[in-house]
Amino acid sequence: MSKVHPVILCGGSGTRLWPLSRKSYPKQFVPLIGETSLLQQCADRLRGPSATPYAKPLILTNEAFRFVVPEQLMEIGVDPGPILIEPEGRNTAPAVLAAALHLASVEPDAVMLVASSDHVIPDTSAFHAAVAEGARTIVQRGDLVTFGITPDRPETGYGYLKLRQTPDTSGVAVPLDRFVEKPNLDDAKAMVADGSYLWNSGIFLFAVRDILAAFDQHAADLVVPVRQAVERAQSDLGFLRLDPKTWNTVQDISIDYAVMEKASNLSVVPYAAGWSDVGSWSAVQELSNPDANGVATSGEVTTIDCRNVLVRSESPAQEVVAMGLEDVITVAMPDAVLVASMDRAQDVKQAVAALKAKGAKQAESLPVDHRPWGWFESLVIGDRFQVKRIHVHPGASLSLQSHHHRSEHWIVVEGTAEVTIDDQVQLVSENQSVYVPLGAVHRMVNPGKVPMVLIEVQTGTYLGEDDIIRYEDIYARN
């Protein structure tokens, strides 16, 4: 059998973990548990065991994150394989089909392991052993394999897998009887007591040939447009951009509905070594090593006489004090604070919807805006001025641009900037400043090997991010 080819699905908005996870920078890119992001943990796990390393991961993401993904992977020394850009999110079935079609064009005998970028699986060795069992099942039976999590509670937030027999503790694959939708609490209790039901992890393993045959049989209407989107894909700065015209005609549907619930050749590998889709703040609390009183904290936090709480401060300059709380979630960001009852953890997305309805920018956008060259943060905003902190990666460059409505003052506080203003190019070092007049064509480059940080003071009648005329851009942004 060929190497296992990881396929990482890296879309999604993670609204249930607002305010830390937002549409502009969702939970897979955030260090929710530990020092690295969920995407980095996933990619590290999918390097495979040292004896049989996996192939480079194939990643599907969207336009907004095309530079964030490789940046985060390179930080942990993972060299990604192809990165496919979805013009719009179309759920997991089209994404898996596009990955399978791409792999079929380069390695028809490949085995693909499909995983979400935002899951937590603490025991990497046990996970690799489960994948090896799934691979044996593919060789012996030619089945499509999914991984079922042994439930430790009657959870209503997950779908379930009904097995044809009660699994033993050996981890051997068992034939699947049927998929079960998210149950009510009474049904969940009955399924856990039954012993033949597992949580549906949404992780899959199959031979490329087998999953393509399954799509042909059960979801033929997806095959033609997705194949055209892959065949007409355009290479763009190392990314493979799926053809938007055909992709946008594809049905929005999950792989469970499109294929897996209809296929008869399915097996489940039971997995009991720990897993979470980190789908709520209550899940984060469980994964954050709470103390004997159920208190889990992160950042600059002080708790007094609290029980069963999660308290997080996401700014080192912001001290959060919780006193006498029980069964409460508190997450403090510089621009938004969530305070919620623990039993409403699954309902946080309702808060996001309410914020969107009132037009609050906090619904989808963070105060830190990530760009291909680095990031910026708005520190102070007034009627006719704005102060930003701008971080530029080594060797990175902002676009050559001008503005209709604002002028800018730049003060370098770390590193050195190469600044272009009209026909003049100069180096601006720490503690030096430069003025960019309204209408001047300008650019900022970090020529050094360390990050460059500057403070930008904008003044003018309009300070929106859309007041940019780009003349040149190494990142090919329009």
Give φ, ψ of 92 to 5 degrees: -80, -30
What's the confidence (pLDDT) of residue 14?
A: 78
What's the confidence (pLDDT) of residue 478?
A: 64
Lowest mean pLDDT across 50-64, 273-287, 378-392: 50-64
- Each residue of 462-474: b (16+ CB within 10 Å) or e? ebeeebeeeeebe
pLDDT tens-digit profile of 205-223? 999 999 999 999 999 999 9
pLDDT-derived band at 131 (thresholds 50, 70, 90) equals very high
pLDDT tens-digit profile of 147-184? 999 999 999 889 999 999 998 888 899 999 999 999 99
User: Pairing between strand 295-298 and 307-313?
Assistant: parallel
pLDDT-derived band at 64 (thresholds 50, 70, 90) equals confident
Please check whether the domain covering 4-271 is classified as CATH 3.40.640.10.
no
What's the confidence (pLDDT) of residue 170?
A: 87
What's the confidence (pLDDT) of residue 1?
A: 55
pLDDT tens-digit profile of 342-397? 999 989 999 999 999 999 999 999 989 999 999 999 999 999 999 999 999 999 99
> Helix, strand or coil for residue 268?
strand
Spatial distance between the Cα atoms of 160 and 300, rounded to a whole number of angstroms: 38
User: Pairing between strand 469-472 and 4-9?
Assistant: unpaired
Percentage of the chain beyond pLDDT 90 is 89
pLDDT-derived band at 52 (thresholds 50, 70, 90) equals confident
- What's the average model confidence in pLDDT over 249-275? 95
Each domain of the chain, given as residue ranges in start order, spans: 4-271, 289-357, 368-472
Q: How far is CA 430 from the centre of its chain?
A: 35
What's the confidence (pLDDT) of residue 11?
A: 84
Fold match between domain 4-271 and domain 368-472: no
Which helix or strand (DSSP H or E) is residue 267 part of?
A: strand 266-271
What's the confidence (pLDDT) of residue 169?
A: 84
Judge whether residue 451 has pLDDT over 70. Answer: yes
CATH of 368-472, one of 2.60.120.10, 2.80.10.50, 3.30.70.360, 3.30.420.40: 2.60.120.10
Judge whether residue 141 has pLDDT over 70. Answer: yes
Cis peptide leading into 31, omega within 30 of 0?
A: no
> Could you tell me if 202 and 116 are in contact, meaning their C-beta atoms sit under 8 angstroms apart?
yes
What's the confidence (pLDDT) of residue 243?
A: 97
pLDDT tens-digit profile of 308-339? 999 999 999 999 999 999 999 999 999 999 99
Which helix or strand (DSSP H or E) is residue 53 part of?
A: none
> Helix, strand or coil for residue 60?
strand
Percentage of the chain beyond pLDDT 70 is 99
